[in-house]
Structure 1
Amino acid sequence: MSRVLSLAALVAVAFSPAFVSGDWPVFRGDPLMTGTGKSKLPEQLEARWSFNTGDGKNQGGIEGAPAIAGSVVFVASLDKHLYALDLATGKQKWKVKLGAMKASPSVKGDRVYVGNLDGKFFCLKAADGSKVWEFETNGEIMAGCNFHGTNVLIGSHDSTLYCLDANGKKIWDVKTDGPVNGTPAVIGDVTFVAGCDSVLHMLDAKTGKELGTVDLGGQAAATAAILNDVAYVGTMANTVVAVDLKKKEKLWSFEAATRQQPFYASAAAGEIVVAGSRDKKVYGLNPKTGKQAWSFTTEGQVDASPVIVDGKVFVGCLNDDGNFYVLDLKTGKKLQELTLDSAVSGSVAVGPDCLIVGTDKGVVYCLGKK
């Protein structure tokens, strides 16, 4: 286990050719689900363009993060369509009807992958949205997939994590004691997933064999972020938990001092661990100790997962005005606030010089410099 989680393995994953700088091909940007980007963003964000999904009757809510690959943005909507948009202009390249989707799309090579609320998982051609194959699970698919080599890892609310080959054939599956809500993280040949059984599972990505488990002390709706052999995950028990992956034991657990609420958003892991809560706060935590470095109060519950880029935190919240915040990573001080059209339950994707985020009314925004 320690060999797979070595620095060399982390470096190999970080510089994998499948994940190009400036792309955001999976839910949290990279195989480790860190929620951190390497782009250089403008000092002040402006709405470069916006695109409306749905039919204008609030049916196109966006709850996942978009995916960015090269010059194309992929967005899954509750209006039952997956959209491909031009990154520079926001103009639609194509759309395909797949069923209502809350999950984030994922991109690998010339394929885009996404699951829907009917439990169907699709592999499509990124060029035109035509279907390559389809795999059916027995529960809602709420999260994006990740990749291990040419294989695809996807969790479902049928309490199963699936490993599929490049042709959509099942290689293995692992049952959990509750729905799988998050995207599995991958390091080398090990994958990690947390779910409603209150356990972080460590699995051999080749075979599905369990390598170890750690009790999180609460159900997890969030995806685990991994940095320096530690996994950080929020729970429905009002805590953020850090797990030492080498020792396979809990490192620390954070709980707010007052008015504790669940952490449905996935944490971002950098020099500060950033986690958003339903108590209308974003927290900055010391990654080694779990002690609070700062907190920032928002105008609504925070279900959207924050991202870290160039010493700043970017995150939206669930108030009707659509408040979107830019915070200083070290201090939590507000640097900028934008007002979008409606609540932001969707998470951010980081482009080469911009951010892409969707709202509950189904509007996709590109935030950068006009």
Structure 2
Amino acid sequence: MHASTKCHKSSLSFLSSRIAFLGSCAIVLALAPAPRDVRAGSLISYQDAAPLGLERVWFAQARVDVSRHRVTNWVLYENNLLAATNGGLVQSFNAETGETLWTTQAGPLDQPAFGPAVSQDYVALVSGASLYTLDRASGRLLWSTSLGSAPAEAPALSNTDAYVPFLSGRIESYQLADPKKPTWYFQSVGRIFYPPSVSGELVTWPTSRGYLYVGQAGAPHVLYRIQTNSVAIAPPTEAFGLLFVAVQDGNVHCFKLLNGNEKWRYSMGFPATGRPGVVGERLYVASSEPMLHALEAVSGQELWDVPGITHFAAQGIKNVYGLDEGGRLVVINKETGQYIGTLPGPGRFKAVFNDYSDRIYLVDDRGLVQCLREMGAVEPTIHRRVEAAAEKPSEEAVPAEAEMPATDEQLDDSGFGAPEASPFSAEPSDDSDNPFGFE
């Protein structure tokens, strides 16, 4: 046989074997399970949500470079849901549609950032040793200013001022209209590990020495301070002229806003995992036991408690929603506290704290956000307005603290203020005008 004919047959034989090999590979690949799309696999399907009376309204993805950064905080403020990364990127979503309204890089990418804080017109965060303020409507950077030293946590915003906490216990106020320098500062007793909180006309912040400071937000000065037997684990929640504070020893305290007197306290037995949520006349707080507790907000009377829930998420028309230890959504009957079900799937979600509306926002640190609602709840139910003015405390009944840094004599070797006796005795007194508690 001619050499060229042999070569031709050899080539055909090789080609046939390659085709057969590729065909077998195609069969194997067709039979093998498809690679799991992690992001798609994290989406809540209609089939999973419907048996629990829920539907997914929308989902969105925050802009984040996951090779370098993570979303560290989500904040709901009226019709805005805002995400902030540890690289200082802030993104604003329409909370009802999921539409991205704006995205702004505030501060350098390589500096840790805390925030965002939100008010009616402004958004603020701290990055490195600077405070950045954005226009809430457009996301435009309005100004930034150096703080002199690194802050301890996210700022808080009133309509006129930004409040920045420092680890030493110092808190500074900057006028939003003229931020060149702090207009007011105060040296607290103890260190600050949690961000301050603004509600109505009040600004409050807890310290590591068990003090809760209450100040006037619009014209900054301290009105009074409250001491508990343990450290607050989150900013307080204000409603009905009352302050609700969860502390590390497992107690939830309710104080009168006018004078700081304790109205009631409730023992959970385990530390809370977040701030109390007030929806209608109810207060919800979850503990590390884990357990979700439902109380009457004004009286402190227990309505029910449900085990297995570590975080409060939201209250709908029919049910209450929280997360279990695996980050799965748990559904509880609002009236009875009866367990209804758990959303199937791997979980690993976090929930945006929402005592403002009936929407449920499930998020993760890679920027995925999903909005759920009860079936048929086309229009959102608004539980309470963010900007509702708090009842103004009576300054005649609540002497202010000295608004100056602590002296060397007032600080112990650890940098904390000198210890003081607790202003509380064993039993509360509703009739006392003493702003520091009980007689």
Larger radius of gyration: 2
For 1:196, what is the secondary structure of its paired residue?
coil
**Given the alignment of the two structures, is residue 261 of structure 1 paired with residue 265 of structure 2, yes or no?**
no
**Given the alignment of the two structures, is residue 362 of structure 1 paired with residue 372 of structure 2, yes or no?**
no
**Given the alignment of the two structures, is residue 290 of structure 1 paired with residue 300 of structure 2, yes or no?**
yes
Matched residue, 1:85: 93
**Given the alignment of the two structures, is residue 315 of structure 1 paired with residue 322 of structure 2, yes or no?**
yes
Q: CA deviation at 1:139?
A: 4.2
- Runs (4+) of structure 1 exceeding 6 A deviation are 350-353
Higher fraction of strand: 1
Find 2:156's aligned residue among 145, 150, 160.
145
- Equivalent-residue separation in structure 2 for 1:307 and 1:255 (angstroms): 22
Equivalence map 1:67-86=2 (5 Å): 67-68=76-77, 70=79, 73-86=81-94
TM-score where L is the length of structure 1: 0.71
Q: Encode CA deviations 1:28-65: one digit per residue, 9 max, x unaligned.
A: xxxxxxxxxxxxxx962425213155334594143x33
The answer (yes or no) to whether the contact 2:59–2:368 under 8 Å persists in 1 is: no
Equivalence map 1:1-370=2 (5 Å): 44-46=54-56, 48-56=58-66, 59-62=69-72, 64-68=73-77, 70=79, 73-87=81-95, 88-91=97-100, 93-98=102-107, 99-109=111-121, 111-116=122-127, 118-126=128-136, 127-136=138-147, 138-143=149-154, 145-147=156-158, 149-166=159-176, 167-168=178-179, 169-176=181-188, 177-188=190-201, 190-256=202-268, 260-270=269-279, 271-298=281-308, 301-302=310-311, 306-310=313-317, 312-319=319-326, 322-335=327-340, 337-338=342-343, 343-345=348-350, 347-349=352-354, 354-368=359-373
Q: 1:237 to 1:139 in 2, by over 3 A?
A: farther
- Equivalent-residue separation in structure 2 for 1:362 and 1:315 (angstroms): 20
The answer (yes or no) to whether the contact 2:350–2:362 under 8 Å persists in 1 is: no
Q: 1:68 to 1:185 in 2, by over 3 A?
A: closer
For 2:292, what is the secondary structure of its paired residue?
strand
Q: 1:74 to 1:151 in 2, by over 3 A?
A: same
- Equivalent-residue separation in structure 1 for 2:267 and 2:356 (angstroms): 32
For 2:93, what is the secondary structure of its paired residue?
strand
For 1:290, what is the secondary structure of its paired residue?
coil
Q: CA deviation at 1:310?
A: 4.3
Q: Encode CA deviations 1:135-181: one digit per residue, 9 max, x unaligned.
A: 5263444345231x422334343423332212324221222222151
Q: 1:114 to 1:217 in 2, by over 3 A?
A: same
Q: Which moved more, 1:214-223 or 1:193-202?
A: 193-202
Q: 1:205 to 1:227 in 2, by over 3 A?
A: same
Q: Which moved more, 1:274-283 or 1:120-129?
A: 120-129
- How many residue pairs get aligned? The number is 315
Q: Which amino acid aligns with 2:253?
A: V
- Equivalent-residue separation in structure 1 for 2:244 and 2:272 (angstroms): 12
Higher fraction of helix: 2
Q: 1:151 to 1:130 in 2, by over 3 A?
A: closer
What is the aligned-residue identity percentage?
A: 11
Q: 1:67 to 1:284 in 2, by over 3 A?
A: closer
The answer (yes or no) to whether the contact 1:263–1:276 under 8 Å persists in 2 is: yes
Q: CA deviation at 1:203?
A: 2.0
TM-score where L is the length of structure 2: 0.61
- Equivalent-residue separation in structure 2 for 1:122 and 1:154 (angstroms): 11
- Equivalent-residue separation in structure 1 for 2:64 and 2:317 (angstroms): 33
The answer (yes or no) to whether the contact 2:316–2:359 under 8 Å persists in 1 is: no
Which structure carries more relative contact order (alpha carbon 8 Å, separation 6+)? Answer: 1
Q: Which amino acid aligns with 1:278?
A: S
- Equivalent-residue separation in structure 2 for 1:306 and 1:94 (angstroms): 25
- Equivalent-residue separation in structure 2 for 1:342 and 1:138 (angstroms): 39
Q: Which amino acid aligns with 1:263?
A: A
Unaligned runs of 5+ in 2: 1-51, 379-439
Q: CA deviation at 1:283?
A: 1.0
Q: 1:77 to 1:201 in 2, by over 3 A?
A: same
The answer (yes or no) to whether the contact 2:246–2:253 under 8 Å persists in 1 is: yes
- Equivalent-residue separation in structure 2 for 1:339 and 1:102 (angstroms): 33
The answer (yes or no) to whether the contact 1:60–1:361 under 8 Å persists in 2 is: yes
- Equivalent-residue separation in structure 2 for 1:287 and 1:343 (angstroms): 30
